[in-house]
Amino acid sequence: MARLREIGEAPPGPFSGRLLEAATEILAQEFDPARGGFGAAPKFPTPHSLVFLLRRFRRTGDEHARRMAEVTLEAMRRGGIYDHLGFGFHRYATDADWRLPHFEKMLYDQAGLVAAYLEGWQATGNRGFARTAREVLSYCLRDLRGPEGGFHSAEDADSEGREGRFYVWTRAEILEVLGKERGERFCRVYGVTAEGNFRDEATGEPTGANVLHLDRSVEEWAREWGVEAPELEACLEEDRQRLLARRNLRPRPAKDDKVLTGWNGLMISALGRAAWVLGDEGYARAAVDTARFLMDRLRPDGRLLRRYRQGEAGVEAVAEDYAFLCRGLLDLYAATFDSAWIAAARDLAERLVERFWDAHAGGLFDAPRHGDALPWRPKEVYDGAVPSANSAALEAFARLGLLTGDPAWTRRAEALAEALAGRVHRYPAAFTAYLTGAAHLLEPTREVVIVGPPDREDTRALLRAARSVYAPETAVLLAPPDGALGRVAPFTRGMSDVGGRAAAYVCQSFTCEAPITDPDALAAVLTLPPPSG
């Protein structure tokens, strides 16, 4: 048993900004500059690595970090890993060019990639990234959301007994649906050939079918053909809608209709961030509905349950369920400014520590103490297809410290980060979600408290100014006249408007500058990261 513990643990290592630099350097070595992504085939989306790189660009101005993320986001969006008709991302690409996917669609991939594309849009101004985030959310809300507000887990890769049958096309099928002239244009744009570009994943044999993908942008095709890009895009959109209608007549892949608490926590994060970044209240309402569903159906007595299906909830939650939902509720606060979500996140964080914290070595075990049937309790740190529970909790604890002003949460985040740093030192690029959370501790952060009635235009103008800037190190709070925020964030209690006008208090380590009432002035202050020291 002692040997098993040794395998799973590592001595605490130095916890410093050098970890952030090392991870960036490793990713740069593994980056594929021609095709995006890291390493060779197969290629998996790694949204937390892309978010990590975009935040390194924000903090340091590292243009290569931005470029790695931007090229990868663009390559995935154009590739066959993306469903160009019904939207959403497939599980991974079997080739290095992102063209040929394994066709399964996972809820957690959609959630993570929405967050990455939103930050990509904020960091680069690429409007296609914002469009991609909206499209992926459209897919999730249309095809994965259950009638009670929870999101189902996945759609299978197979239909009619064949991998990808629902998604692939022959050239003849496209010409039949669109007609010769439009069909041939669509085939050129989306890489469709008479021979087919899709090979069976298991056998490698050609199938004669095609996966839709874009080798070139619509703008490039428009220039070649001497037409306006918006006109060509409008025509292609009509074509996509007609093909989607035909595709919807096919038997769909099977759906895994389990509602998993942790994965739904990731979707609450995605919806909450989309509501904040895009200013779309519809996403906020959807996130609230999902959060209420989870809190009503999967939290019967304060403790969480892990899964729900066809009216039945069961299975005791593990650490990732608590951590992902806790982080999701913090993102939901940013979308709604309802301080009850901070209180709910804090309660989940307290229970997470109570049930999973390793009092001996620090960090969070994956499973609760009394549910342990193994000779030792595993403690995952590696950020794989999703962040580890420890990484999500690290970010959540650090953000709770910023939002509430309670230093106990910052100390808890520091203890977690230090306990796991030894493992991270072995290969920092495998722990990018951990490092994104750790950056809240290693680098300067900021609190912005906007004081004013939420339905008044001067308050909304300050919120729009805060939203217009890519500032992921900044915690934005809204203090309405009812005093509710002061109950969860006592440091905001003495803040007031200025002469009846909404005001923004910009603080660093809870030391605040004079209040700002001009939205342009607030945006200007937030444009640069907070200074060190």
Q: What domains appear along the chain, each with residue ranges and CATH number? A: 2-11+22-157+255-443 (1.50.10.10), 168-247 (no CATH), 447-527 (3.40.30)
d(CA 217, CA 198) in angstroms, rounded, equals 21
Among 487, 497, 491, CA closest to 475: 491
Question: What amino acid is encoded at 338 in this protein?
Answer: D
Determine the pLDDT at residue 207.
82
35: number of Cβ within 10 Å: 19
Contact 275, 284 (CB under 8 A): yes
The model's pTM is: 0.96
* Helix, strand, coil share (%) of the chain residues, nearest 5: 55, 10, 35
pLDDT at 420: 94
Residue 205 has a pLDDT of 77
Decide: 210 and 169 in contact? Cβ < 8 Å.
yes
Q: How far apart are CA 280 and CA 260, in angstroms?
A: 25
Give the single-character DSSP code of 97.
T
> Under a CB-based contact definition with an 8 Å cutoff, are residues 120 and 126 in contact?
yes
Per-residue confidence in pLDDT tens, the chain, 533 aa: 443 344 456 666 678 999 999 999 999 999 999 999 999 999 999 999 999 999 999 999 999 999 999 999 999 999 999 999 999 999 999 999 999 999 999 999 999 999 999 999 999 999 999 999 999 999 999 999 999 999 999 999 999 889 999 999 999 999 999 999 999 999 999 999 999 999 876 777 778 899 999 999 999 999 999 999 999 999 999 999 999 999 999 999 999 999 999 999 999 999 999 999 999 999 999 999 999 999 999 998 888 999 999 999 999 999 999 999 999 999 999 999 999 999 999 999 999 999 999 999 999 999 987 644 555 678 988 999 999 999 999 999 999 999 999 999 999 999 999 999 999 999 999 999 999 999 999 999 999 999 999 999 999 999 999 999 999 999 999 999 999 999 999 999 999 999 999 999 999 999 999 999 999 999 999 999 999 86
Closest CA to 406 of 458, 349, 363, 459: 349
CB 334 within 8 A of CB 284: no
Strands (E), 445-509: 446-451, 474-479, 503-508
Torsion of CA 329, 129, 146, 300, to 10 degrees: -10
Running DSSP on this structure, what letter comes out for residue 429?
A: G
Which residues 6+ apart lie within 8 Å of 367 measured at CB? 318, 319, 356, 377, 378
**Secondary structure letter of residue 533 according to DSSP:** -
Contact 19, 60 (CB under 8 A): no
Question: Residue 230: which residues within 8 A CB-CB, separation 6 or more?
Answer: none
526 vs 74: CA distance, rounded Å: 27
The CA distance from 132 to 516, in Å, is 34
Q: Which contacts qualify for 355-363: CB closer than 8 Å, 24 or more apart?
A: 355/303, 355/319, 355/322, 356/319, 356/322, 356/389, 358/419, 361/9, 361/419, 362/12, 362/415, 362/416, 362/418, 362/419, 362/420, 363/390, 363/416, 363/419, 363/420
pLDDT at 1: 40
**CA 205 remoteness from chain centre:** 35
